[in-house]
Each structure stands twice: as structure tokens, then as C-alpha cells.
């Protein structure tokens, strides 16, 4: 999906999938991350330059036109393209694997999802899965612009604040029994995509992708199951930018 929107050739997906994953992983050295970023940036810069002469109906062609008109520099357009590619691919792919593992561990909820045949209920189920998992595990870093009090704590203007999204999504005042996966829960007020002016730009695309996957995969393959014991699954380091499973072997 993100390849089609950006205008990145899908046949190159192995290359950018490998390099894009470095941006959200903490188990790589700074040198490895720099090398991966340089390779991915060079690839996208060349692609943008090519689209200056051979434009198509995609985002990179729009960037190329803006570079040509002087609205953007090539490095600026390349950085925007990297952000969109990494954020648009890595997080959605991670949510699909994590969500699948979660549902396979909750067969009653999986059976309920398999019975859903309308888009409204499917959308509601996706919101609950987003709440429960909250892929963006890192606390969002902010600077207080003015003095205020929160839960009895005085915050001064200029203070640094770390806002952990999972903590809000597992707040029992907002979500009773938050540790319980309930696909009938009204969870649209979750913060999995952030909040306010810093909300994820691609959240609606992500929702559509997940609704299609979660609403189709388990009905198409009703016998889907893990091919290994859960204890054998390898998870990304806890301090990775996005939570995830390194590999999810399945069978049916």
C-alpha cells in the first residue's frame, strides 16, 4: 500500500524493508543505522530525481515537482519520503504480526472477529486492538509551554515531560479492565496514534489497512495458528521505538 501511494517500486521492497526497520530498532549500532539511513536516503533521492523527468500519480512525483519549483530542496524531499516510507510500512506491518499473535492467544475474541460481517464492528475491533497493543511504546517527549498542575504534580514552563501512550491506553479510569482484550469495547478515545496536533498523519490509512487485514485474514484462513510455541517467539528489545515481533511463524 505505501509503495503504491509513494511511487516506490514494489520489487524493491526487500531492500527498503530491511533498511527501514533499522530506524525503529534499538538493537543496532549507530554506525549500522547511519549506513542504513544513507542507503535508503540515496535510493529515495535518486527515485525523486527520476520522477522529475518521468512523473506519475504518486507522492514522490509531487515531491519532485516541488523540488523543481524550488518549494523543497532535494534533501528535504528525501527526508520526508523516508519518514513516510518508514512510518507507513514498519508500524502497519508490526501491528499485523502483533495483532495476529494477540488474537491467536485469545480464541474467543478471534472467533468473535471471524463472525463480524460489517465494517462498523470491524472498525471498532481494530480500535480495541490498537488500544491494547499501542505499538508506539516510547514515551512522547514534550516541553511544557506554561505552568500547570497535573494529578497533584506541579509542572513548570520549560520542564521536559515524557508522556507514555501505553499508560493512557491502559488507564482503568478510561478503559475498565484494560488488561482484558474486548473487541466490543468502545475504544475510539485511545492514544495509539498520539493526540492533538501531533497525531499520526497516516492514521486513517493505517486503520483501513488493519480493517482489511483483520476483517479478512482470519475468515479466509480459519485454521491459522502459531507454528511454534509462544515462548519461542522473538520480540524486539523493549526500548525499540515500535514494539514488535521479529518473526511470526504460522501454519494452518
> Measured between alpha carbons, how far is 203 from 118 in angstroms, rounded to an integer?
21
30 catalytic? Reply is: no
The residues near 212 (Cβ < 8 Å, ≥ 6 apart) are none
> Measured between alpha carbons, how far is 17 from 105 in angstroms, rounded to an integer?
27
Query: Among residues 45, 90, 127, 187, which one is catalytic?
Result: 90
Assign 18 to helix, strand or coil.
helix
Query: Among residues 87, 101, 122, 136, which one is catalytic?
Result: 87
3 catalytic? Reply is: no
Query: Among residues 92, 101, 136, 187, which one is catalytic?
Result: 92
> Measured between alpha carbons, how far is 177 from 132 in angstroms, rounded to an integer?
11
Residue 245: name the closest of 25, 40, 20, 85 by CA: 25
240 catalytic? Reply is: no
Q: Phi and psi dihedrals of 226, rounded to 5?
A: -65, 140
Query: Among residues 209, 240, 242, 243, which one is catalytic?
Result: 209
The set of catalytic residues is 87, 90, 92, 200, 209
Amino acid at each position: 500500500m505505501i509503495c503504491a501511494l509513494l511511487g516506490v517500486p514494489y520489487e524493491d521492497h526487500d531492500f527498503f524493508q530491511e533498511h527501514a526497520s533499522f530506524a525503529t530498532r534499538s538493537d543496532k549500532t549507530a554506525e549500522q543505522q547511519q549506513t542504513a539511513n544513507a542507503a535508503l536516503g540515496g535510493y529515495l533521492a535518486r527515485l525523486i530525481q527520476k520522477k522529475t523527468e518521468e512523473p506519475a500519480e504518486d507522492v514522490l512525483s509531487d515531491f519532485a515537482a516541488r523540488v523543481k519549483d524550488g518549494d523543497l530542496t532535494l534533501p528535504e524531499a528525501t527526508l520526508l519520503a523516508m519518514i513516510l516510507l518508514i512510518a507507513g510500512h514498519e508500524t502497519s506491518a508490526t501491528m499485523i504480526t502483533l495483532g495476529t499473535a494477540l488474537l491467536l492467544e485469545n480464541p474467543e475474541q478471534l472467533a468473535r472477529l471471524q463472525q463480524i460481517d460489517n465494517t462498523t464492528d470491524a472498525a471498532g475491533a481494530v480500535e480495541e486492538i490498537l488500544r491494547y497493543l499501542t505499538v508506539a511504546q516510547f514515551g512522547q517527549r514534550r516541553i511544557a509551554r506554561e505552568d500547570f498542575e497535573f494529578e497533584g504534580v506541579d509542572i513548570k514552563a520549560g520542564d521536559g515531560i515524557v508522556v507514555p501512550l501505553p499508560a493512557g491506553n491502559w488507564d482503568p479510569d478510561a478503559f475498565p479492565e484494560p488488561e482484558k482484550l474486548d473487541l466490543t469495547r468502545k475504544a475510539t478515545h485511545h492514544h495509539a496514534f498520539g493526540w492533538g496536533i501531533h497525531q499520526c498523519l497516516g492514521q486513517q490509512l493505517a486503520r483501513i489497512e488493519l480493517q482489511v487485514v483483520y476483517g479478512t485474514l482470519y475468515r479466509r484462513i480459519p485454521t491459522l495458528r502459531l507454528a511454534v510455541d509462544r515462548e519461542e517467539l522473538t520480540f524486539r528489545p523493549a526500548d525499540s521505538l515500535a514494539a514488535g515481533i521479529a518473526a511470526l511463524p504460522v501454519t494452518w
